[in-house]
Amino acid sequence: MVFQRLSRTLPHRQAARLPSGQIFPLHLHLTTCGISFTLAPYDITGPHKMARISNTLSRWHKIQTNIRDVAARRQAALLADVESEHLDMQTLEVLGPKMREKAQRAVSEGLATVAKLQSALFTVRRALARANVEYGVADLLSETEQVKQELASLQALVQATEGGLQFETAQEIEKKRRAAASANSAYHASSQLVTFVDEATVARLRTRVEELTLELAKKANAVSDANATKLSIELDDDIVKLVAI
């Protein structure tokens, strides 16, 4: 969280139980070039222009990733703006007031933006979670994973039996070699790659692999159809513009 990371760069942060909507301690003491100031808490529950956006579930999953990435970049930029610096006193005297103003603006504006992004991310996650259950996506994904695991197991079994001679076939070949050996020459047993799983069992395994492959394709189509369902979510208009939703 941004508050936890900020606390490592700030010499003091007075904690307080926050009223609804206040997302920062009542008194914040930042040190930027050795200058301290107090920042009042801000409120994100006030009136905001909202926008109702309609997209497919698959598109909302991409938007969710975009919001998370933008929030991470904004948080990194905020931390960079408030990071303490080593300055000589002459430079501090000239640039101190401007740097303090920059840090104040970074906290008041940057933290509010990060908070809005985090709020939007939670809103989208919650809406997607509910939609995934409502439209059966969650069940389909679970069933798809089950089919994938069974298919992988059977494919491995079939692959393990490939390339080898059936036990009975290998025996017949060796008998013929022994019979064909000259009476005056020594007989040397050959080495063969042999499988001990009978042909009928291997055939059943291959049939099941084909069935599961077809079933997996059907599940994928069902997930794709479900993800094409439209979902409407209301978000802060500033976030809509910032993330280019």
3-state secondary structure of 165: strand
> What length is written for the chain?
245
Residues 202/80, Cβ–Cβ less than 8 Å: no
- What is the reported pLDDT for 14? 36
Share of the chain above pLDDT 70, in %: 72
**Per-residue model confidence as pLDDT tens digits over 14-66:** 333 334 444 443 333 333 333 333 333 444 445 578 999 999 999 999 999 99
> 69 CB contacts (<8 Å, ≥6 apart)?
none
More confident residue, 234 or 196: 234
What 3-state class would DSSP assign to 237?
A: helix
Please, which residues bridge with residue 233 across strands? 53
pLDDT (tens digit, 9 = 90+) per residue, 73-85? 999 988 887 877 7
Hunting for tokens 């499988």 — which residue is that? 195
Instruction: Identify the pLDDT of residue 18.
Output: 38
CA-angle at 234, arms to 228 and 236, nearest 5° = 130
Sign of the dihedral defined by the CA atoms of residues 77, 78, 81, 85, in that order: negative
Above 70 in pLDDT, residue 200? Answer: yes
pLDDT of 186: 64
Cβ(164)–Cβ(202) below 8 Å: no
Cα within 13 Å of Cα(119), Cβ side? 19
pLDDT confidence bin for 245, thresholds 50/70/90: confident
More confidently predicted of 112 and 35: 112
- 32-36, 127-131, 186-190, 229-233: least confidently modelled range: 32-36
Mean pLDDT of 228-241: 94
Does 181 have pLDDT greater than 90?
A: no
